[in-house]
A and B are shown apart, each in its own frame.
Chain A
């Protein structure tokens, strides 16, 4: 959580003061969802995330230089600068795809899970998406297919209550997104997405169900996005009381306090974790900024394996 927050914060700071240029969809506020989910996944499980996926990527263990490098469009990025924030993949760490099309990752996760099933592997696919994504056809088609075929998938709706500038209450006539699973006969539950332990418990149960042949699960993790839709979003549409109430439930100070109260970690321990996270992010950023821009020859590769007969 701390590391994901540190990456997001450092990028916002750097863009804000003109240190570098990049496009990001901040994930500040949603760290607990990613932390709980990815802690329940094995390294060989697969995750499909979205443009708002910095916390997911960092939590899944994608090297910081690859995440930051890709977001800044440098040659040491995960895709050598050809993907950008919305298209990061990291097969070694199990990030199969990042999607910039709302809802598109849902059926893809079903396909990953189908491949595991076909190969007799006990691996699991997880996919994260927003509340808005659950209004798309891809979401419904993917949910139905995964349930019909009883595929090992965990669908995680990061319900931050807003889709771009539109509140959830304006886009669906149900109180709880989790109810959508009922149409597909799928297991699921609504989770406090600001509580990493609750998120872990729910994810672990869903992953266990998937791994042991019990089929897919739909989790609705209720959370909030503090920084708006994109970096620079002034959030004029967001009532001040709603933001204030959401800040009360900020998962990071809340979890710090919980760890202190339980005597698990001391203030010094927590400070050391913060310091370490900041140092790691700074070091990665320095490496990224020192790395060259991608060579123009990148444009001659990777459209297809064989580029013969391919228009320039």
Chain B
């Protein structure tokens, strides 16, 4: 067993970038305000330009299309660029480059032109910033063959997954969650990575599986605690990666518990949970003891007022009540 240290998600992300920059001269970062002393709006890149040089951590103009395009060009030439789209809502301007160039490069070239970019961006929701600074748009990218989608929840996952993303030979959208930057937890020290596409059981249980990722993990764990007091033993499965999707682990868990609740902050309607619920339903049709439930963000632009914003997102209570309903279904 390697030693662990306790850090925040923010520190874990910083460490992952620091180690990646040290490990391989092909790695470089680009984005708005990334260099010290500003070190980005979120400070994920704090200290990195000072340590690795301004030619490894590039400050860019406010030009999301150019940032993505330049990363793509550099990746095609064998570099390993990691670019930051400050807040996910701004990604619309770069979507053309990410979706139409990066995600297609390998396939459309018959394998000749790989494009190993990493897009780091953050879902900023929960901070009262309103409709254009709070969205969870991961379903957009899940819908496009050719780009992986990673959403870490814990410090250890954040570090291990980001290092895998940076060195992955294909494009990866790495979606951070601003509201989780301060979460603390153990992180194995030394050089470790978590392979993309492996879900993780964050709490074992036998009555119902709560399938989630990112911020949803914490609500699911709170829900599980509440449910345990009522004698319902919930398992919390953290997908960690939405593409590739660890369906075998999902089916294994739900096959055991017979019940599933899928929850996420992205809008529930046509959201990631629709796909996951459909897969569970068709693969485990005869073994499910209740219909698969979904608890997602409401189909509303994210409001600014704290009480309204909270009412749009899922929470432990909504998840617990969905879980109770699945458990009560066949009673």
Residue of B nearest to A77 (CB): B110
* A141 touching B66 in the complex, CB below 8 Å, given contacts A112-B73, A308-B244: yes
Residue of B nearest to A116 (CB): B77
Bound CA span A112–B55, Å: 15
Bound CA span A96–B79, Å: 14
Q: Does any Cβ of A come within 8 Å of B6's Cβ? A: no
Give the residue of B69, B96, B101, B109 whose beta carbon is less than 8 angstroms from that of A78. B109
Contact with B along A294-312 (1 / 0, CB 8 A): 0000100111111011110
Q: Which candidate, B111-119, B218-226, B285-293, is the interface stretch facing chain A? A: B111-119
Contact with A along B99-111 (1 / 0, CB 8 A): 0110011111111
Q: Does any Cβ of B come within 8 Å of A27's Cβ? A: no
Contact with A along B226-268 (1 / 0, CB 8 A): 0000000000000000011111000000000000000000000
* A107 touching B68 in the complex, CB below 8 Å, given contacts A83-B108, A114-B74: yes
Give the residue of B60, B65, B76, B148 whose beta carbon is less than 8 angstroms from that of A96. B76
Question: Chain B contacts of A109 at CB under 8 A?
Answer: 73
A302 touching B65, Cβ below 8 Å: no
Q: Does any Cβ of A come within 8 Å of B40's Cβ? A: no
Nearest CB of B to A135, in Å: 14
Contact with B along A71-85 (1 / 0, CB 8 A): 000000111111110
Using a CB-CB cutoff of 8 Å, which residues 68-112 of chain B contact chain A? 68-79, 81, 93, 96-97, 100-101, 104-112
B247 touching A309, Cβ below 8 Å: yes
B170 touching A114, Cβ below 8 Å: no
Q: Does any Cβ of A come within 8 Å of B63's Cβ? A: yes
Bound CA span A189–B6, Å: 59
Q: Does any Cβ of A come within 8 Å of B197's Cβ? A: yes
Nearest CB of A to B139, in Å: 14
B70 touching A82, Cβ below 8 Å: no
Give the residue of A79, A96, A137, A302 whose beta carbon is less than 8 angstroms from that of B73. A96
Q: Does any Cβ of A come within 8 Å of B301's Cβ? A: no
Residue of B nearest to A80 (CB): B110
Contact with A along B38-73 (1 / 0, CB 8 A): 000000000000000001000011011111111111
Question: Chain A contacts of B126 at CB under 8 A?
Answer: none
Bound CA span A297–B82, Å: 32
Give the residue of A104, A114, A303 whose beta carbon is less than 8 angstroms from that of B101. A104
B70 touching A310, Cβ below 8 Å: no
Question: Chain B contacts of A138 at CB under 8 A?
Answer: 65-66, 69, 96-97
Q: Does any Cβ of A come within 8 Å of B174's Cβ? A: no
Question: Chain B contacts of A304 at CB under 8 A?
Answer: 106, 146, 148, 169-170, 244
Question: Chain A contacts of B60 at CB under 8 A?
Answer: 145
Contact with B along A139-150 (1 / 0, CB 8 A): 001101100100
Bound CA span A115–B69, Å: 12
Nearest CB of A to B279, in Å: 9
B73 touching A114, Cβ below 8 Å: yes
Q: Does any Cβ of A come within 8 Å of B28's Cβ? A: yes
Nearest CB of B to A220, in Å: 21
Question: Chain A contacts of B244 at CB under 8 A?
Answer: 304, 306, 308-310
Most chain B C-beta atoms within 10 Å of own C-beta, residue among A46, A48, A107: A107
A144 touching B77, Cβ below 8 Å: no
B197 touching A148, Cβ below 8 Å: no
Bound CA span A107–B101, Å: 11
Give the residue of B66, B76, B105, B108 whose beta carbon is less than 8 angstroms from that of A107. B66
Question: Chain B contacts of A301 at CB under 8 A?
Answer: 111
Nearest CB of B to A113, in Å: 7
Residues of B within 8 A of A (CB-CB), count: 49
A89 touching B112, Cβ below 8 Å: yes
A144 touching B112, Cβ below 8 Å: no
Contact with B along A186-214 (1 / 0, CB 8 A): 00000000000000000000000000000
Nearest CB of A to B192, in Å: 19
Q: Does any Cβ of A come within 8 Å of B145's Cβ? A: yes
Question: Chain A contacts of B61 at CB under 8 A?
Answer: 141, 144-145, 148
B79 touching A145, Cβ below 8 Å: no
Question: Chain B contacts of A87 at CB under 8 A?
Answer: 104, 108-109
Nearest CB of A to B165, in Å: 13
Bound CA span A308–B246, Å: 9
Bound CA span A75–B267, Å: 42
Bound CA span A297–B312, Å: 44
Nearest CB of A to B83, in Å: 10
Bound CA span A90–B245, Å: 32
A99 touching B55, Cβ below 8 Å: no
A78 touching B70, Cβ below 8 Å: no
Bound CA span A58–B66, Å: 28
* A111 touching B75 in the complex, CB below 8 Å, given contacts A305-B114, A305-B169: yes
A111 touching B197, Cβ below 8 Å: no
Question: Chain A contacts of B28 at CB under 8 A?
Answer: 118
Give the residue of A100, A298, A302 whose beta carbon is less than 8 angstroms from that of B106. A302
Residue of A nearest to B243 (CB): A310
Most chain A C-beta atoms within 10 Å of own C-beta, residue among B66, B67, B106, B244: B66
Give the residue of B66, B77, B197 whose beta carbon is less than 8 angstroms from that of A308. B197
Q: Does any Cβ of B come within 8 Å of A106's Cβ? A: yes
Bound CA span A155–B125, Å: 40
Interface residues of chain A, those whose CB is within 8 Å of chain B, are 46, 48, 77-84, 87, 89-91, 96-97, 99-101, 104, 106-116, 118, 125, 137-138, 141-142, 144-145, 148, 298, 301-306, 308-311
Contacts beyond the supplied A112-B74, A309-B244: 5 A-B pairs with Cβ under 8 Å: A77-B110, A91-B113, A116-B77, A138-B69, A144-B66
Those 3 A-B pairs whose CB atoms lie nearest each other, nearest first: A111-B73, A107-B69, A309-B244
